[in-house]
Amino acid sequence: MARKITKAVFPVAGLGTRFLPATKASPKEMLSLVDKPLIQYVVEEAIAAGIDEIIMVTGRNKSAIEDHFDRSVELEHTLEAKGDAERLRLVQQIAGMVDFCYIRQNEPKGLGHAILRAKKLVGNEPFAVLLGDDIIHSPRKPAIGQLMEVFRKTGAPVVAVEQAPMENISAYGVVAPASRRGKLTHVRSMVEKPQREKAPSNLAIIGRYVLTPDIFARLEATEPDYKGEIQLTAALNALARRRKVLALEFEGIRYDAGDKLGYLRATVEFALRHPDLGRSFRDFLKGLPL
Ligand code: G1P
């Protein structure tokens, strides 16, 4: 099987309940982080890693995502008429970023089910998966690119992991290591959101994956869990019994932008790093009576 990855699946059908009421009528992926919607950071990460086709698995109330990555002829005309070349470039750039296709997940049956919806569009190729809640700052090499590099060398499916504090471990899929070599772990098994006492390690799965097409058969064979959801972690666990699956502790800072506090952290840190705003924002923070 070829080891070049060109397609990425973005499951974006989630209801964003952790972020209500902000997400009642607009998608959580469109919440703005400083001056760009969250989803654009993740799309830019994929493009920086060499992805040239993005498959968005969407749901109801998500048309703003499609519109954001489409042309906006009216806006372009207005900016052109005003002679605002800088902003015109900005909006045109977004529409021309990469090829997008959209498919609906019309039932809320979990992450595994969302990925299964992309089966036909992915075809018989390895592919990347990026979850929009996880924003990763990694200026040297995009996080998904780091996983793709491991895949190029090994041909094995790879999940991103980081060491999480044990008090939060139940929020994640967790890897049980068979063996570890530096940042790379050979996965023995994995379990979705275990109770803290039952967690097999502190290696928490973060929303970046490189998967091989044999995951689809495992997803099809996965029974829904107690919530009626088909979990990707369960399918990957089944895959790990049949072939080598790896976990990579990637380089970069990850923010859980689907959570209110995580989103605030991301907002402050991205604003501090922003080339135009960073300096004045820092001065503003220093002046706060904390
Ligand atoms: C999903 C995955 C979980 C992973 C997490 C990372 O869970 O099911 O294994 O640890 O993303 O963000 P969710 O947070 O969507 O419930």
Which protein residue's CA is at the shortest distance from atom 7 of ligand 1? Answer: 172
Between the CA of 121 and the centroid of ligand 1 the distance, in Å, is: 23
11: confidence class by pLDDT, cuts 50, 70, 90: very high
Q: What angle do CA 98, 100, 104 make, to 5 degrees?
A: 160
Ligand 1: distance of its center to the CA of 180 in Å?
A: 22
Domain ranges for the chain: 7-285
Is the pLDDT at 1 greater than 80? The verdict is no
pLDDT digits (tens, 9 = 90+) for 15-73: 888 899 988 889 999 999 999 999 999 999 999 999 999 999 999 888 999 999 988 88
Q: At what angle do helices 278-286 and 260-273 cross, to 10 degrees?
A: 120
pLDDT at 98 over 80: yes
Length of the chain, please? 290
CB 153 within 8 A of CB 33: no
Residue 187 — pLDDT band, cuts 50, 70, 90?
very high
Give the closest residue to 45 by CA, choosing from 140, 109, 122, 158.
140
- What atom of ligand 1 comes closest to residue 192's alpha carbon? 9
pLDDT-derived band at 96 (thresholds 50, 70, 90) equals confident
Question: pLDDT tens digits for 239-283?
Answer: 999 999 999 999 999 999 999 999 999 999 999 999 999 999 999
Name the fold adopted by 7-285.
Spore Coat Polysaccharide Biosynthesis Protein SpsA; Chain A (3.90.550)
- How far from 94 is each of 37, 110, 197, CA to CA, in Å? 11, 29, 45
Mean per-residue pLDDT, 152-162: 97
Ligand 1 nearest-atom number relative to CA 256: 12
